[in-house]
């Protein structure tokens, strides 16, 4: 498939455990975004990778959250010492670098990972 993929689709964990969520962007897309979708907060931006530039981490809610993007492709979002308020759907999106490029202003979303912290 040519779309954004995320794994796992569902993750249930116990409070205090660490979790890793994976995102495979569309091949060739240099921009990658993580968002969180929860009932109380709606859709929130978490972090943004653009090529080789330093990531924009301004949306990360706490230092328990971190993300990496290896080789300019796959990204992993890590949540340490999970809390019940971390329960949400975590969405990944990718796009071309420039808004003026074909499809460049569209972010293509993956199906999300539903995280449940017990």
Partner 1 sequence: AQTVTQSQPEMSVQEAETVTLSCTYDTSENNYYLFWYKQPPSRQMILVIRQEAYKQQNATENRFSVNFQKAAKSFSLKISDSQLGDTAMYFCAFMKLNYGGSQGNLIFGKGTKLSVKP
Q: Which of 15, 78, 98, 118 binds partner 1 (CB under 8 A)?
A: 98
27-86 residues near partner 1, rule: CB under 8 A: 31, 33, 35, 42-43, 45, 48, 50, 56, 59
Q: Considering the complex, what minimum distance in angstroms separates the CB of residue 16 from partner 1? A: 27
Instruction: Between 42 and 71, name the residue whose CB sits nearer to partner 1.
Output: 42
How far apart, in whole angstroms, are the C-alpha atoms of residue 39 and residue 30?
A: 30
Terminal-residue alpha carbon distance, the chain: 33
Check residue 25 for interaction with partner 1 (CB under 8 A). Answer: no
Distances (CA, A) of 26 to 21, 36, 94: 17, 19, 7
How far apart, in whole angstroms, are the C-alpha atoms of residue 14 and residue 52?
A: 35
Distances (CA, A) of 9 to 24, 34, 79: 13, 15, 16
Binding span for partner 1 by CB under 8 A among 18-26, 69-77, 79-87, 98-106: 98-106
Site of interaction with partner 1 (CB under 8 A): 31, 33, 35, 42-43, 45, 48, 50, 56, 59, 89, 91, 93, 95, 97-100, 104-107, 109, 111-112, 114
């Amino acid at each position: 498939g040519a779309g954004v993929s995320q794994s796992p689709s569902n993750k249930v964990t116990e409070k205090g455990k660490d979790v890793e969520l994976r995102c495979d962007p569309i091949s060739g897309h240099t921009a990658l975004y993580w968002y969180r979708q929860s009932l109380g907060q709606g859709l929130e931006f978490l972090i943004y990778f653009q090529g080789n530039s330093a990531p924009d981490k301004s949306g990360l809610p706490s230092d328990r959250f971190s993300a990496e993007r290896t080789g300019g492709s796959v990204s992993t979002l890590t949540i340490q010492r999970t809390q019940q308020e971390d329960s949400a759907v975590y969405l990944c999106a990718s796009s071309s670098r420039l808004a003026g490029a074909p499809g460049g202003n569209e972010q293509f979303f993956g199906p999300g990972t539903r995280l449940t912290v017990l």
